[in-house]
Amino acid sequence: MNAIETKNLTHRYRNGTKGEEAAVEEVSLTVAAGELLCVIGHTGSGKSTLVQHLNGLLKPTAGAVFVDGKDIWESKQAVREARFWVGLCFQYPEYQLFEETVEKDVAFGPKNMGLPAAEIQRRVTQSLGYVGLDDSYRPKSPFDLSGGEKRRAAIAGVMAMEPHVLVLDEPTAGLDPRGKAQILRMILRYRAETGRAVLLISHNMEETARLADRVLVLHHGRAAMLGTVREVFARGEELREMGLSIPSVTKVFLRLQALGLPVRGEVFTQEEAIEELRRVQAARLL
Ligand SMILES: Nc1ncnc2c1ncn2[C@@H]1O[C@H](COP(=O)(O)OP(=O)(O)OP(=O)(O)O)[C@@H](O)[C@H]1O
Ligand SMILES: [Mg+2]
């Protein structure tokens, strides 16, 4: 089953303006249920514009978005359903925290869905668990939290709506390394425990290599590449031409290979690097 699908999705801001380049152009994409898809691309490549179509915040200029096999713009009911099907967490979601307590903030979405009080409580507890904020955070004002904690509270609010697809637009942007690592662990845990699809926009190639099942590369609004981590990062030269890069650890291994050492070049994460060095050492090749 597919979690979500786009067909030839095109978006022009200020449609009709002469010569305006489309922010998203002819993107056809299928996200499978339970899949973790990373979207990468240079600034302005259309990542945020693309994901804002998935829950009907933006309407396509051409093409369509399908949720559960249904075009979301087919009826008012279908758009409404898409809002619940896809949970969208914006860039810097902490600016949208507004309630007096963390608990109320996380409960806001489920409350809006008209769920019974006990179910809201269950979801708040579960979501705070996913993001690693214990009970002591519930009565706190969101404004008294650290940057990373605020970010996690805001993400918990989207998780509490139990969307089929969780979309996170650059969830680690602007955080320190510790805050970043916490968010990554949280995403992996959420995915493992819920089995639901996650769509993650990232600027960070290391992050992408570690998390993604598949990677979508946007370039000037178009889907320039779509494939596994291995398939995409094997095209380092093309990525470089698009202003992107490959993980630093991959660069190191390609360099070692070029120097004549018997290592594989297809090493994308630190874990894989350690494994590869062990393999080479065990074979006494170094
Ligand atoms: N509200 C808007 N009105 C007009 N043009 C916009 C609007 N939002 C984005 N754009 C333009 O659409 C294009 C795609 O922008 P978008 O924000 O989707 O890119 P992005 O890949 O998310 O970039 P970033 O990495 O900086 O977040 C850019 O040329 C941008 O200037
Ligand atoms: Mg963006």
Q: Which of 12-16, 20-24, 227-231 has the lowest mean pLDDT?
A: 12-16
Expressed in angstroms and rounded, the spacing between residue 89 Cα and the centre of ligand 2 is 12
* Residue 259 placed within a domain: yes
Kindly state if the Cβ of 109 falls inside 6 Å of ligand 1: no
Average pLDDT over residues 78-96: 91
Average pLDDT over residues 23-33: 96
> Which ligand lies nearest to the CA atom of residue 216 in the structure?
1
Q: Report residue 2's pLDDT band, with 50, 70 and 90 as the boundaries.
A: confident
Give the count of alpha carbons within 13 A of 262, CB side only.
Answer: 9
* Token duo for residue 59: 């309407």
- Residue 200 predicted with pLDDT over 80: yes
Whole-number Å distance between alpha carbons of 276 and 157: 40
Please give the pLDDT value at position 285.
Answer: 65
Question: Which of 10, 45, 91, 216 gets mutated to test ligand 1 (max ligand atoms within 8 A of its CB)?
Answer: 45
Please give the pLDDT value at position 33.
Answer: 93
* Residue 280 placed within a domain: yes
Structural domains of the chain, count: 1
The continuous run of DSSP H or E covering 182 comes out as: helix 177-194
Cβ atoms of 211 and 205 closer than 8 Å: no
Average pLDDT over residues 207-222: 96
Give the residue whose CA is nearest to atom 2 of ligand 1: 13
Q: Report residue 286's pLDDT band, with 50, 70 and 90 as the boundaries.
A: low
Kindly state if the Cβ of 11 falls inside 6 Å of ligand 1: no
* Residue 46 placed within a domain: no
Average pLDDT over residues 201-227: 96
Residues 6+ apart with CB under 8 A from 142: 94, 97, 98, 99, 101, 102, 105, 150, 153
Residue-averaged pLDDT of the chain: 93
**Ligand 1 atom closest to 46 (CA):** 18
Q: Report residue 283's pLDDT band, with 50, 70 and 90 as the boundaries.
A: confident
Cβ atoms of 159 and 127 closer than 8 Å: yes
Average pLDDT over residues 21-47: 96
Whole-number Å distance between alpha carbons of 213 and 198: 10
Please give the pLDDT value at position 167.
Answer: 97
* Residue 272 placed within a domain: yes
Angle formed at CA 178 by CA 200 and CA 244, multiple of 5 degrees: 45
Give the range of the structural domain holding residue 268, as residue numbers without chain letter: 247-286
Expressed in angstroms and rounded, the spacing between residue 134 Cα and the centre of ligand 1 is 36
Expressed in angstroms and rounded, the spacing between residue 285 Cα and the centre of ligand 2 is 45
Which stretches of the chain are assigned E, i.e. beta strand? 2-11, 24-32, 36-41, 62-67, 70-71, 86-89, 165-169, 197-201, 214-219, 222-227
* Residue 132 placed within a domain: no
The pTM assigned to this predicted structure is: 0.93
Average pLDDT over residues 261-277: 92
Kindly state if the Cβ of 17 falls inside 6 Å of ligand 1: no
